[in-house]
């Protein structure tokens, strides 16, 4: 095996870790940005919203470009754009320029589907499942890394610009790694469906924008309802258009084939769970108990390192374990296990959150469930799409996860600020219970849907020794012997 071939898995893991880290680095410092720039809370929140909206527009286009022109050159282009955006964000004190930098950083979302496509091109079939699980697990690990680093850099009144300089350095490392990937021609033929990309992008913006801004606009306002109605119309027009073009951005089969639809619905749920537990646990533990009668009065640093980091850092272990579950029992069974685990974690948080260990364990269980689910989704998609559609299929699934993250964010924020809050304008404990019980209920629904809707697929029979060999040698970039 060549040196470049051995780098494929480590580089793919780093690229996906970078995606998630760039996403969470900024979330805890929105208030710092607001104070530094002298803008309103709503305006400052656009450093998160603009990034998410741009990601929804860019991700499917980048995935398709990788299918057409090769993954390595598109990944290099993405990282250059992210690098320029990070430098701009690190050197500006202007909100419009900062938003431009965050929009450029949103191109990083395209690295996940491109990395999965690289694995499919470069790795032997018997190593692919474990490798995809490990790479998918980096989404959780990167989120934890982003939270931990933000807490460390911002302690004692740190400067949020340092976070963007860190993003710059991390992106340079990613560029050096991707440059070493093998060169491959595009797997697909045809051209990019620009009209379809525009329709999909517009529809997603109209969908995600009211989810992000509904708390400020009012959930029953004309702007929210009008945007959601327009999103339905535009996305329906997108589906009709894709059925009529020769080289669609998303093939009609991908919009109607049951396993892919279920995978995208599962991605929606997992994205919701990931951000719901992040935001709800963070708010819960930072609540001062002397005022609210619950909570721990934790700092941002403690909330990140003590309560959330254990669950996300454990992804280093749970991601390969998720790969073993997929290899042994199949993607369907692993998704059901993930949903049941999420229900248990959310249920535990709803019932027990008066002691530190209870919150840590509950968040850890939910994060483990998300990691198992992320491990199963690429394997499920790869099993049901052609190699030329790998990038766009994972891009569409990434969009589903992004929409789920938006739903999770909007739901938690709405619950935390709805009328009837507790003393000192703090949420009542019952509002946190409602968030956790909603998560548990959705998890049980997700388990039932996956168990009922996914067809039974004959899975390869592997011994425990073969699975362990795949995980150890595959993670090291070594070939896996087969008799």
Coarse DSSP helix, strand, coil percentages of the chain, rounded to the nearest 5 percent: 80, 0, 20
DSSP 387: G
Cα separations in angstroms, 338 against 74, 215, 279 = 32, 30, 20
111-115, 366-370, 387-391, 441-445: the lowest-pLDDT one: 387-391
| Structure tokens that stand for 217 in this block | 């606009």
Span 423-462, pLDDT tens digits: 556 788 888 999 999 999 999 999 999 989 877 654 444 4
pLDDT at 176: 93
How distant is the alpha carbon of residue 450 from its chain centre?
20
Torsion over CA: 349, 350, 355, 358 (sign): negative
Alpha-helical (H) ranges within 251-314 are 252-256, 258-286, 289-292, 300-302, 309-313
pLDDT at 481: 40
* This prediction's pTM: 0.74
Please state, rounded to an integer, the average pLDDT across all residues of the chain.
81
**Average pLDDT value for residue range 24-53:** 79
- Does the pLDDT at position 200 exceed 50? yes
CA distance 400 to 26: 21
- Does the pLDDT at position 32 exceed 70? yes
CA distance 154 to 347: 32
DSSP 106: G
| Structure tokens that stand for 200 in this block | 């999909």
- Band of pLDDT at residue 42, cut at 50, 70 and 90: low
**Average pLDDT value for residue range 56-63:** 80
The set of residues, in sequence order, having a beta carbon less than 8 Å from that of 132 and lying 6+ positions away, is: 116, 119, 323, 375, 378, 379, 382
Cα separations in angstroms, 272 against 8, 66, 165, 315 = 30, 27, 29, 18
**Average pLDDT value for residue range 250-264:** 79
**Average pLDDT value for residue range 55-72:** 81
CA distance 419 to 316: 40
CA distance 48 to 224: 19
**163 near 100, Cβ under 8 Å?**
no
**Average pLDDT value for residue range 214-239:** 89
**106 near 18, Cβ under 8 Å?**
no
- Does the pLDDT at position 307 exceed 90? no
**Helix, strand or coil, per DSSP, at residue 419:** coil
Place of tokens 């769970």: 273
- Does the pLDDT at position 147 exceed 90? no
Q: Percent of the chain at pLDDT above 70? A: 87
Strand spans (E) along 363-464:
none
**157 near 35, Cβ under 8 Å?**
no
- Band of pLDDT at residue 216, cut at 50, 70 and 90: confident
Q: What is the CA radius of gyration of the chain?
A: 21
| Structure tokens that stand for 463 in this block | 């011994």
- Band of pLDDT at residue 473, cut at 50, 70 and 90: very low
- Band of pLDDT at residue 188, cut at 50, 70 and 90: low
**Helix, strand or coil, per DSSP, at residue 361:** helix
Buried b (16+ CB within 10 A) or exposed e, 17-32: bbbbbbbbbbbbbbeb
Which is the CATH superfamily of the domain at 3-192+249-475? MFS general substrate transporter like domains (1.20.1250.20)
The neighbour count for residue 121, using CB atoms within 10 Å, is: 17
The number of helix segments (H) and strand segments (E) in the chain equals: 22, 0
321-324: long-range contacts, CB 8 A cutoff, minimum separation 24: 321/372, 322/133, 322/136, 322/137, 322/371, 322/372, 322/374, 322/375, 322/376, 323/129, 323/130, 323/131, 323/132, 323/133, 323/134, 323/375, 323/470, 323/471, 324/130, 324/133, 324/467, 324/468, 324/471
| Structure tokens that stand for 458 in this block | 């004959």
- Band of pLDDT at residue 401, cut at 50, 70 and 90: confident
- Does the pLDDT at position 37 exceed 80? yes
- Does the pLDDT at position 1 exceed 60? no
pLDDT at 187: 64
pLDDT at 464: 39
**Distance from first CA to last CA of the chain, Å, rounded?**
18
pLDDT at 471: 37
Q: Residue 344, exposed/middle/buried by CB under 10 A (0-12, 13-18, 19+)?
A: middle
- The better pLDDT of the pair 29, 281 is held by 281
- The better pLDDT of the pair 138, 5 is held by 138
The neighbour count for residue 96, using CB atoms within 10 Å, is: 9
**Average pLDDT value for residue range 65-88:** 91
**Average pLDDT value for residue range 3-24:** 83
Q: Percent of the chain at pLDDT above 90? A: 26
Angle at 118 between CA 115 and CA 120, to 5 degrees: 115
Furthest CA-CA distance within the chain: 68
95-99, 184-188, 254-258, 296-300: the lowest-pLDDT one: 184-188
CA distance 70 to 152: 38
| Structure tokens that stand for 118 in this block | 């690289």
Span 337-361, pLDDT tens digits: 999 999 999 999 999 999 999 999 9
pLDDT at 83: 97
pLDDT at 3: 59
């Amino acid at each position: 095996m060549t040196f470049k071939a051995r780098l494929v898995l480590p580089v793919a893991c780093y690229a996906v870790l970078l995606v998630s880290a760039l996403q969470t680095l900024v979330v805890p410092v929105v208030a710092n940005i607001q104070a530094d720039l002298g803008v309103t809370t709503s305006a400052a929140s656009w450093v998160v919203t603009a990034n998410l909206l741009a990601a929804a527009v860019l991700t499917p286009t980048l995935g398709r470009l990788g299918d057409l022109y090769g993954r390595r050159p598109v990944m290099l282009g993405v990282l250059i754009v992210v690098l320029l955006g990070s430098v701009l964000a690190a050197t500006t004190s202007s909100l419009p320029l900062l938003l431009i930098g965050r929009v450029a950083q949103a191109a990083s979302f395209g690295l996940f589907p491109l990395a999965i496509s690289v694995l499919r091109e470069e790795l032997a079939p018997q190593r692919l499942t474990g490798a995809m699980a490990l790479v998918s697990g980096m989404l959780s690990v990167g989120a934890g890394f982003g939270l931990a680093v933000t807490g460390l850099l911002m302690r004692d009144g740190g400067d949020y610009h340092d976070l963007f300089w860190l993003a710059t350095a991390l992106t340079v490392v990613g560029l050096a790694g991707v440059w070493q990937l093998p060169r491959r021609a595009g797997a697909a033929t045809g051209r990019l469906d620009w009209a379809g990309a525009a329709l999909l992008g517009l529809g997603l913006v109209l969908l995600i924008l009211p989810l992000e801004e509904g708390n400020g606009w009012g959930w029953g306002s004309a702007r929210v309802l009008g945007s959601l109605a327009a999103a339905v119309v535009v996305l329906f027009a997108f589906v009709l258009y894709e059925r009529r073009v020769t080289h669609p951005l998303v093939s009609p089969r991908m919009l109607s084939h049951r396993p892919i639809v279920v995978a995208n619905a599962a991605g929606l749920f997992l994205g919701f769970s990931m951000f719901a537990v992040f935001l709800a646990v963070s708010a819960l533990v930072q609540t001062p108990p002397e005022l609210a009668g619950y909570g721990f009065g934790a700092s941002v640093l403690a909330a990140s390192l003590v309560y959330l980091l254990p669950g996300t850092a454990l992804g280093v272990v749970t991601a390969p374990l998720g790969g073993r579950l997929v290899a042994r029992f199949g993607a369907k069974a692993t998704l059901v296990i993930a949903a049941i685990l999420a229900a248990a974690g959310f249920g535990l948080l709803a019932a027990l959150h008066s002691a530190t260990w209870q919150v840590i364990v509950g968040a850890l269980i939910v994060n483990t469930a998300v990691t198992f689910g992320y491990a199963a989704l690429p394997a499920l998609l790869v099993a049901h799409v052609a190699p030329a559609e790998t990038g766009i299929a994972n891009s569409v699934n990434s969009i589903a996860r992004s929409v789920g993250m938006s739903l999770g964010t909007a739901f938690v924020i709405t619950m935390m600020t709805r009328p009837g809050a507790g003393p000192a304008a703090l949420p009542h404990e019952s509002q946190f219970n409602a968030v956790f019980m909603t998560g548990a209920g959705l998890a049980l629904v997700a388990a039932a849907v996956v168990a009922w809707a996914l067809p039974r697929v004959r899975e390869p029979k592997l011994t425990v020794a073969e699975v362990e060999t795949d995980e150890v040698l595959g993670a090291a970039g070594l070939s896996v012997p087969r008799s």
